[in-house]
Structure 1
């Protein structure tokens, strides 16, 4: 995504305010600044009783086992088609690696502000520490600080934005990045099997598996019912992996017209389908709207890893799927798609819906 962004003319407004500092300043009796107050939370709350809304669980070890692969692949396809989200267990990650990356990320966000600003996002940039999707001085802001990095291909990394504190950060992130690239490649192949399409036809759109990470720090807020950590949106990529750094929940997805909270299984990766995969599958797999809410007493930290399309590819329904169905989405190149996604400013599924034919 970062490579494509560099080719576009999407302008962001400088926003150097650190939300963690804002949160510290209002702790106790202070009021949330008006720029962060989100009235829609009260008017569109999550459901209290989430029974029957537990995300499907996919077992990678069963996908890879010939004895159970067919059954688990069908389960994977059903999760992508009916939920657009699932939790991935037995994914093969070393527990020590996951503990180290969680520790490194926590330590980075605990650094003094001036040290984090050493890797600040530059004007009209996308990589580094700061904020995304700030297009005007008047818009409402999300209650989050983030560190965004292009992680793969390796030769396209901008190491100037990779923190050197803690000292293990770069090595740990590199190893985690490689592991996720391998997991995503495997999942794409099993998805191709489920869809009945050629592996290369699906993987070709993600040639080289371009990857980026958004590491999120959501400060606590005593007036949590007034702020949003991340506005309702879909992901403009192929597939996203979310790792909970600490045990604080906050992810909510919209299903059956209602919001409900996701309870992450310890050690699992929460995986969701992005807009690109919905288009490629001609709507069979679903890119689902989701958001992040804030905890009143405890910070929440997550790592979202995006697997995107490569520069110069064409995004449209796979031809093999059009043998039995008409196309439901427009065809456009990756730069045009990504520019449109950013310009939509995280407004739910609005951009994806605009790409449907016959609307």
Structure 2
């Protein structure tokens, strides 16, 4: 059964950033203005920087295990997970037209009139629907972002009344897209297991019926991007976040594989859209470091817990970097 979070504060319609953008305010509302220590540093992106991001060629992982191509790509995957905590996947096999279609229906949804989007509200105590999640107090700063989130698998976590009727092709496109991403996640976890010397099916057997959800984020342009945050710094509560690896993998590998902290910033003139899939163990599954990865040189760093227990903790706390990982850490005290 899905965890039941406590009730956060319901954000008013006046805080809808698309509506704020339409009004073209000369001053950013105080609710969105970050404290000096939280404001983003908007350094220019260097063209060469993209070449440093780990790239995994998925087609090479499909080669026979005794080939040089496979072994080389497994090494690349290990390095990406240990040193970065995220990587870009190329030649993943998902049809480009499907990726374009999900982007189109997502953008079309956000461009609907506010009255239409309000038919699918993110009610207090939930993380599905349209609105802002992780808001728990009236004075908490808001992200310069509109969100639309849905539970996808298993069907028991879905809230059918939140699946929109407009655009008309939205539900069918999301179903097709989520099916392909699910297969990709299953395969990536298989190769991640191999990369740390485990059986390829170890995560599939452990996860049970994996939980899958999607969150769509729309970031309108902001006249003062130096004052706001598109999405607060955080790391994800899933095993895999497409395309970023999340916190459960950090626990399962006893800290060997990273859980990367990330954020989103805004742009003065351009809007931005992201579609994020979260793939995680069944809520009933107990999570803890794999015994094969614990020894006297690498003692156990995390306690065991049910994934449902952790998910409840994650959705009932505001985004605060990697602090939610403290939930699972074993605390060491000095008794002297």
- Mark yes or no: TM-score above 0.5: yes
Q: 1:112 to 1:206 in 2, by over 3 A?
A: same
Pairwise CA distance, 1:149: 0.2
What does residue 31 of structure 2 align with? 35
Q: 1:148 to 1:334 in 2, by over 3 A?
A: same
Q: Is the 8 A contact 1:93 1:179 kept in 2?
A: yes
Partner-residue secondary structure (3-state), 2:151: strand
What does residue 277 of structure 1 align with? 249
Which of residues 284, 293, 312 in structure 1 aligns to 2:284? 312
Which of residues 288, 295, 307 in structure 1 aligns to 2:267? 295
Distance in 1 (alpha carbons) for counterparts of 2:7 and 2:156 = 26
Please tell me whether residue 357 in structure 1 is matched to residue 326 in structure 2. no
Distance in 2 (alpha carbons) for counterparts of 1:132 and 1:42 = 19
What does residue 76 of structure 1 align with? 77
Please tell me whether residue 181 in structure 1 is matched to residue 154 in structure 2. no
Pairwise CA distance, 1:178: 0.3
Which of residues 11, 24, 27 in structure 2 aligns to 1:15? 11
Give ranges in structure 2 of 5+ residues lacking alignment. none
Pairwise CA distance, 1:56: 0.5
1:214-225 matches, within 5 Å, as: 214-225=215-226
Partner-residue secondary structure (3-state), 1:224: coil
Distance in 1 (alpha carbons) for counterparts of 2:145 and 2:183 = 29
Q: 1:125 to 1:155 in 2, by over 3 A?
A: closer
Pairwise CA distance, 1:159: 2.0
Distance in 2 (alpha carbons) for counterparts of 1:156 and 1:357 = 30
Pairwise CA distance, 1:332: 1.4
Q: Is the 8 A contact 1:8 1:335 kept in 2?
A: no
Instruction: Name which of structure 1's ranges 143-152 and 119-128 shifts more when overlaid on structure 2.
Output: 119-128
Q: Is the 8 A contact 2:40 2:228 kept in 1?
A: no
Q: Is the 8 A contact 2:146 2:219 kept in 1?
A: yes
Pairwise CA distance, 1:344: 3.5
What does residue 212 of structure 1 align with? 213
Pairwise CA distance, 1:160: 1.1
Instruction: Give the alignment's Cα RMSD to 1 decimal.
Output: 1.9
Partner-residue secondary structure (3-state), 1:173: helix
Q: Is the 8 A contact 1:151 1:213 kept in 2?
A: yes
Q: Is the 8 A contact 2:42 2:226 kept in 1?
A: no
Partner-residue secondary structure (3-state), 2:214: strand
Q: 1:44 to 1:118 in 2, by over 3 A?
A: closer
What does residue 149 of structure 1 align with? 150
Q: Is the 8 A contact 1:201 1:318 kept in 2?
A: no
Distance in 2 (alpha carbons) for counterparts of 1:304 and 1:78 = 23
Q: 1:12 to 1:42 in 2, by over 3 A?
A: closer
Partner-residue secondary structure (3-state), 2:87: strand
1:77-226 matches, within 5 Å, as: 77-154=78-155, 156-226=157-227
What does residue 59 of structure 1 align with? 57
Partner-residue secondary structure (3-state), 2:293: helix
Partner-residue secondary structure (3-state), 1:85: coil
Instruction: Name which of structure 1's ranges 42-51 and 159-168 shifts more when overlaid on structure 2.
Output: 42-51
Q: Is the 8 A contact 1:229 1:293 kept in 2?
A: yes
Q: Is the 8 A contact 2:250 2:257 kept in 1?
A: yes
The number of residue pairs the alignment matches comes to 324
Pairwise CA distance, 1:354: 4.8
Q: 1:214 to 1:193 in 2, by over 3 A?
A: same
Pairwise CA distance, 1:41: 6.7
Pairwise CA distance, 1:123: 2.9
